[in-house]
Chains A and B, each alone.
Chain A
């Protein structure tokens, strides 16, 4: 289901509303729902229902869901240590934008983000939208290894890497926050639809919170 061609907090709220309605309407028939920026993938069990039924339900629920305006959403604060030592691309990005790196950091922390989607890897939350002044295309050559906790920007999205992985996003800092921990409940600090704000922390608090460089 596509709710729009572009993402916005309002569309994101509608995706959430539609997901909730379908979960209630198809309690056993649903296999999974994958919400994203402006779409909802509905996976159903074809031995319990069929596409005619699901399509009709989606149509019905869509009318209600598209009346939803941007929801408040829970506000989650994510701590981050911003420094050229902690973000390999921070200085380059600041230079390209003719900003001091501290100004770039302020632009990152001043913005309130929304969790538009979770995917790519367990716990990888796509947050948007980054201030256009610090939006940056992905690296031409992705890094072989981006460390866990890296705070990164790609286009107008930002994220914290939940685990070490290859990656092409621009790194501007490091968070001690675990974005995915199978042993904790819930395993993620955020869910799709939440509001997120980054809170700058100093080096000492970063290490005290379990961070490492």
Chain B
């Protein structure tokens, strides 16, 4: 059987496809890769469809042993990568032979890495997706994070040419980012001076940042109300609980909630935020919904023109 064995899962390794939208009626969150573009490129590098199941590794540390010849690509956070101890490049199709071991070190900049294997992981979808949401016990292998000794079966695939994303095109990860925010209707609940404070201040990613949301630390934002009638939460929603420390809600957010919200972070920037680590810095800038729409389409065109090239031998 074509499979790889998890020798070390690192801090947090999860199986994901593109996520589970459309299931909010059951209270199921969306899941999916925190950095969808990096995940997409990993799949493309090994000839997979965009929705193929791969591994999202947070902070690095994953070690896989191949039990069959296969191809692999690692994208995302900058970290040392090796096969049987020999250093290998990120953003590149790699050949992994039966018996060889792929090791991810720990990330230096960025937080999420994507490990795609040729053919994709052969995992059963639940509610239309293989994305793992540990809190819900759904997706992946038995709804859980990867454990040492897990066997990951691969779908059939034929070896293809090796490609790479040329170095100048690779995303750069930073320790300081600016997140564009579409101010929402509930910003009216925040006095003008509080809104100013939010957009003028520097925030730090707190230790309490995970796939549900990034809690930030910085000047507290006061709201005229403690809560609102519970309502649906959009991806990227910035909610402000009673302590005034904003939380940007991400892929595994709860579907409804009752904290007042300042607005919604642009999806492109949610992916950038999800690559930050505790202690990294965030500032926010307001944009109109028109500007958001334009930014999204420009990024789409840019990505469509971003071609993989034959990897140098």
* Interchain CB contact under 8 A, A6 and B229: yes
Shortest distance between the CB of A210 and any CB in chain B (Å): 19
Contact flag A41-B230 (CB < 8 Å), given A36-B256, A120-B256, A180-B26: no
A43 CA / B23 CA spacing, docked (Å) = 12
A95 CA / B229 CA spacing, docked (Å) = 29
Q: Is A76 an interface residue (CB 8 A)?
A: no
* Interchain CB contact under 8 A, A36 and B27: no
A209 CA / B296 CA spacing, docked (Å) = 52
Q: Is A139 an interface residue (CB 8 A)?
A: no
Q: Is A32 an interface residue (CB 8 A)?
A: yes
Q: Is A102 an interface residue (CB 8 A)?
A: no
* Interchain CB contact under 8 A, A120 and B27: yes
Contacting residues, chain A, for B135 (C-beta < 8 A): 121
* Interchain CB contact under 8 A, B229 and A50: no
Nearest B residue to A183, CB-CB: B126
Q: Is B127 an interface residue (CB 8 A)?
A: yes
A188 CA / B26 CA spacing, docked (Å) = 7
* Interchain CB contact under 8 A, A33 and B24: yes
Residues 104-126 of A contacting B (Cβ, < 8 Å): 117-124, 126
* Interchain CB contact under 8 A, B255 and A119: yes
Shortest distance between the CB of A116 and any CB in chain B (Å): 8
Contact flag A40-B25 (CB < 8 Å), given A47-B300, A51-B293, A122-B138: no
Contacting residues, chain B, for A50 (C-beta < 8 A): 293
Q: Is B207 an interface residue (CB 8 A)?
A: no
Q: Is B289 an interface residue (CB 8 A)?
A: yes
Nearest A residue to B237, CB-CB: A41
Q: Is A98 an interface residue (CB 8 A)?
A: no
* Interchain CB contact under 8 A, A119 and B230: yes
* Interchain CB contact under 8 A, B231 and A118: no
Contacting residues, chain B, for A6 (C-beta < 8 A): 229
Of A5, A37, A47, chain B has the most CB atoms within 10 Å of the CB of A37
Shortest distance between the CB of B35 and any CB in chain A (Å): 18
Q: Is A9 an interface residue (CB 8 A)?
A: no
From the candidates A46, A118, A162, A187, name the one contacting B293 in the complex (CB within 8 A). Answer: A46
A50 CA / B291 CA spacing, docked (Å) = 12
Nearest A residue to B135, CB-CB: A121
* Interchain CB contact under 8 A, A124 and B27: yes
Q: Is A99 an interface residue (CB 8 A)?
A: no
Q: Is A61 an interface residue (CB 8 A)?
A: no
A163 CA / B293 CA spacing, docked (Å) = 39
Nearest B residue to A31, CB-CB: B21
Contacting residues, chain B, for A38 (C-beta < 8 A): 229, 231
Interface string of B9-31 (1 = CB under 8 A from A): 00000000000011111111010
Q: Is A57 an interface residue (CB 8 A)?
A: no
Contacting residues, chain A, for B136 (C-beta < 8 A): 121-122
Contacting residues, chain B, for A43 (C-beta < 8 A): 21, 234-235
Q: Is A34 an interface residue (CB 8 A)?
A: yes
Contacting residues, chain A, for B256 (C-beta < 8 A): 34, 36, 117-120
Nearest A residue to B267, CB-CB: A46
* Interchain CB contact under 8 A, B138 and A34: no
* Interchain CB contact under 8 A, A35 and B293: no
16 contacts between A and B (CB under 8 A): A2-B185, A6-B229, A34-B232, A34-B233, A36-B256, A38-B229, A39-B231, A41-B233, A46-B296, A47-B300, A118-B25, A119-B232, A120-B256, A122-B138, A126-B230, A187-B26
A residues with a Cβ closer than 8 A to B are 2, 5-7, 30-41, 43, 46-47, 50-51, 117-124, 126, 162-163, 180, 182, 187-188, 191-192
Q: Please name the 6 residue pairs, one residue from A and one from B, whose CB atoms are nearest each other, closest first.
A: A41-B232, A34-B232, A119-B256, A119-B255, A39-B231, A34-B24
